[in-house]
Amino acid sequence: MLKLQEGVCKICGTNTPGSRHRFFVVDHCHDSKQIRGLLCHHCNTMLGHARDSITTLSGAILYLEESRKEWSVSDSSSQPSCCASGLDS
Ligand SMILES: [Zn+2]
């Protein structure tokens, strides 16, 4: 399966399984028991903490987007470096 995913986490695309973990996690749907894909430790933990809730994870995306907007208005120097990419100066 890792070959199907080209050796990367299906969510974040990292090619390392995560700190102290040597293998990717085989993620199952807890209801259907079907295998969903290989995830790094961080993304698997994230899904577990969100209880596989699309509503919760969508809310987290909105939350992060809104806080980034606030940063860009108040102080552009406090933006994380990931937001600065693609900006030509
Ligand atoms: Zn990941």
12 C-alpha to ligand 1 centroid (Å): 4
pLDDT digits (tens, 9 = 90+) for 72-82: 766 555 555 56
CATH code for the domain defined by 1-57: 3.40.1800.10
72 C-alpha to ligand 1 centroid (Å): 27
74 C-alpha to ligand 1 centroid (Å): 31
Report domain extents, the chain.
Answer: 1-57
Instruction: Report the candidate in 18, 36, 14, 17 with the shortest Cα–Cα distance to residue 26.
Output: 36
Average pLDDT, the chain: 82
The answer on pLDDT for 89 being more than 60 is no
Instruction: Report the candidate in 41, 39, 48, 29 with the shortest Cα–Cα distance to residue 9.
Output: 39
Kindly indicate the confidence band of residue 88, based on its pLDDT and cuts at 50, 70 and 90: low
Percent of the residues in the chain that have a pLDDT greater than 90, as a whole number: 45
Give the predicted TM-score (pTM) of the model.
Answer: 0.68
pLDDT digits (tens, 9 = 90+) for 5-26: 778 999 999 999 887 778 899 9
89 C-alpha to ligand 1 centroid (Å): 31
